[in-house]
Chains A and B, each alone.
Chain A
């Protein structure tokens, strides 16, 4: 539709600009780490793990190896989020708060190990509750990453 309108010189110029920004978005869509199904997968996994952990809290159980393994899966996904997010950032020409963006991505990777280590230190359901809080915060973190990605200034 835009290509059809780009017959005159003025239109051609604006169409070229549009194509440039469109190509940027197309690249975003192709990699699609920050806003695509990958981010949704992280949020779903984190919420499932949080629900599981909260169930263990209700069952009065200390944090166990199975929950740790679940946390490792989430952490692997988050490392992919960090790498993919930076790759996507470098491929984009839009203006947004890049330092903040990277900081949020790094925080996403740093929080689960720190929270799990702290929760592991207490062999009661309180330790499991700490792990649950750590999992529960991750969808919020992913959404913050997406907000910084979308907005000019977070």
Chain B
């Protein structure tokens, strides 16, 4: 969106397309937090690894959402780290859940590269890092 860049010299991560990106990250933060909360509270013993990973994903999404929404220089660094971890996480967990499906009796946000969420979790970190570069 062209108007995002015309808003001033400080190209914040939370304006223009970034506004939409933060909203999508926020939805995933909510989804992962709620999912891991229910899983850990009601049936932690069934699949501890999957549920710990769900909680980890929730924290990563929360940090990414807040840091992208704040958009200052320090938040930008935090967002870069969080979204990089997110990228490694979705690829690693996605591959592991395909190769060692027995270790993942229940799904996380990142299982099957986020197939339960329309593969948005796989695309999101690439878009996030692109946006951070684009607004630098």
**Which residues of chain A have C-beta atoms less than 8 A from B48's C-beta?**
none
Q: Tell me whether B23 is interfacial, beta carbon within 8 Å.
A: yes
Q: Are the C-beta atoms of A100 and B20 separated by less than 8 Å? A: no
**Which residues of chain A have C-beta atoms less than 8 A from B1's C-beta?**
124-126
CB distance from B105 to the nearest CB of A (A): 11
Task: Give the complex CA separation of A124 and B2 in angstroms.
Answer: 11
CB distance from B77 to the nearest CB of A (A): 23
**Which residues of chain B have C-beta atoms less than 8 A from A107's C-beta?**
30, 34
Q: Are the C-beta atoms of A133 and B42 separated by less than 8 Å? A: no
Given A99-B42, A107-B34, A126-B16: A118 and B22 interface contact (C-beta under 8 Å): yes
Q: Are the C-beta atoms of A118 and B34 separated by less than 8 Å? A: no
Interface residues of A in 36-92 (CB under 8 A from B): none
CB distance from B9 to the nearest CB of A (A): 18
What sequence of 0s and 1s flags, for each residue 107-128 of chain A, a beta carbon within 8 Å of any chain B beta carbon? 1000100110011011011110
Task: Give the complex CA separation of A130 and B37 in angstroms.
Answer: 26
CB distance from A128 to the nearest CB of B (A): 10
Q: Tell me whether A32 is interfacial, beta carbon within 8 Å.
A: no
CB distance from A31 to the nearest CB of B (A): 24
Task: Give the complex CA separation of A104 and B34 in angstroms.
Answer: 9
Q: Tell me whether A150 is interfacial, beta carbon within 8 Å.
A: no
CB distance from B104 to the nearest CB of A (A): 15
Q: Which of B3, B15, B26, B42 contacts A114 (CB 8 A)?
A: B26
Sort chain A's interface into a size bin: 20 to 34
Q: Are the C-beta atoms of B42 and A119 separated by less than 8 Å? A: no
Sort chain B's interface into a size bin: 20 to 34
Q: Tell me whether B87 is interfacial, beta carbon within 8 Å.
A: no
Q: Are the C-beta atoms of B27 and A130 separated by less than 8 Å? A: no
**Which residues of chain B have C-beta atoms less than 8 A from A126's C-beta?**
1, 3-4, 15-20
Task: Give the complex CA separation of A92 and B20 in angstroms.
Answer: 39
CB distance from A143 to the nearest CB of B (A): 12
CB distance from A132 to the nearest CB of B (A): 9
Task: Give the complex CA separation of A133 and B37 in angstroms.
Answer: 24
Interface residues of B in 2-51 (CB under 8 A from A): 3-4, 15-20, 22-24, 26-27, 30, 34, 37-38, 41-42
Given A99-B41, A103-B34: A133 and B23 interface contact (C-beta under 8 Å): yes
What sequence of 0s and 1s flags, for each residue 13-32 of chain A, a beta carbon within 8 Å of any chain B beta carbon? 00000000000000000000
Q: Are the C-beta atoms of B24 and A133 separated by less than 8 Å? A: yes
* 6 interchain residue pairs of minimum CB distance: A126-B19, A130-B23, A126-B16, A129-B20, A100-B38, A122-B19
Could you show 23 A-B contacts with beta carbons less than 8 Å apart? A97-B42, A99-B42, A103-B38, A107-B30, A111-B30, A115-B27, A118-B23, A118-B26, A121-B19, A122-B15, A122-B19, A124-B1, A124-B16, A126-B1, A126-B3, A126-B19, A126-B20, A129-B20, A130-B19, A133-B20, A133-B23, A134-B23, A137-B27
